[in-house]
Structure 1
């Protein structure tokens, strides 16, 4: 499946950290009660989703890009 939007640098940081923790996006969202579409929004940059952005940054220990 081809992505319609490129992944942002912040999105790559999320994906990299999830790989380090050996978590997939679905499991991460389930554990931290984050809607999957919001995580997708953060990865592709389609929405700011500030509430979830802060949570993801804190949980994954990544800096804002």
Structure 2
């Protein structure tokens, strides 16, 4: 089955850090009170989800520049 939306560079960084922490996306969302669909939006770049983006960056210790101009 083909992926509906491509994963962004930031999305791969999120996935890499989650793998390093040995936690899956669902567990991560439940533990840090982040809606699963918002994490999905960040991974695919569908929405900016700025509030959750900042929270995810802080928790995972990553900083990735925005790809689109503000």
TM over 0.5: yes
| Root-mean-square deviation over aligned CA pairs | 0.8
CA positional deviation for 1:16:
0.1
- Any gaps of 5 or more consecutive residues in structure 1? none
Structure 1 runs of 4+ with >6 Å offset? none
Name the residue aligned to 1:32: 32
Determine helix, strand or coil for the equivalent of 2:23: coil
- Any gaps of 5 or more consecutive residues in structure 2? 66-70
Show CA shifts across 1:17-61 (max 9, x none).
Answer: 000000000000000000000000000000000000000000000
Take 2:2 and 2:28, find their aligned partners in 1: how far apart are those partners?
Answer: 23
More relative contact order in 1 or in 2 (CA 8 Å, sep 6+)? 1
Normalised TM-score (structure 2): 0.89
- Larger-Rg structure: 2
